[in-house]
Homo-oligomer: A and B are copies of this chain.
Amino acid sequence: MEKINLAQKLALFSEHWSPKIIARLNGQEVRLAKILGAFDWHHHADADELFLCVAGRFRLEFRDRAAVELAPGELCVVPRGVEHRPVADEEAHLLLFEPADTLNTGNVQSARTHAVLETL
């Protein structure tokens, strides 16, 4: 039951596309990530995924509809099964809510897949 300060947690790492766990509840995890560029296209078969922009700007791209642009204080939920990829033209910081076993690259295995996430 500690206070978790998002800015302080974000100051603890610099690498992109490597989500860090900052809290766990009800089988879900709160994760923080720094992103830059375009991620791999993927989907999560069994997990809805919430993206909240904390700093910078990024967009969620989809195969079959317009991208959703997110600025600080804006969020979007990507339902399970929907192929997507986050893209950030400049570095952005985001908070994720998703089930504890959600693989960051979903159905895809790539150099950016992190099977085990660090907890901050």
CA–CA, A25 and B2, complex, Å: 25
A3 with B69: in contact, given A25-B50, A28-B26 (CB under 8 Å)?
yes
Q: Distance in Å from the Cβ of A72 to the closest Cβ of chain B?
A: 9
Residue ID in chain B nearest A62 by CB atoms? B1
Q: Which residue of B23, B54, B73 is within 8 Å of A77 (Cβ)?
A: B23
Pair B73/A50 contact, Cβ less than 8 Å: no
Please provide the chain A residues from 59 to 104 with a CB less than 8 Å away from any CB of chain B in the complex: 60, 62, 65, 68-70, 73-79, 82, 97-99
Q: Determine the interface band of chain A, counting residues with CB < 8 A from chain B.
A: 35 or more
Identical copies of this chain, number: 2
Please provide the chain A residues from 27 to 62 with a CB less than 8 Å away from any CB of chain B in the complex: 28, 30, 47-50, 54, 60, 62
A6 within 8 Å of B (CB atoms):
yes
Residue ID in chain B nearest A71 by CB atoms? B5
CA–CA, A3 and B67, complex, Å: 10
Collect the chain B residues with CB atoms within 8 Å of residue A1's CB: 60, 62, 65, 68, 76-79, 82
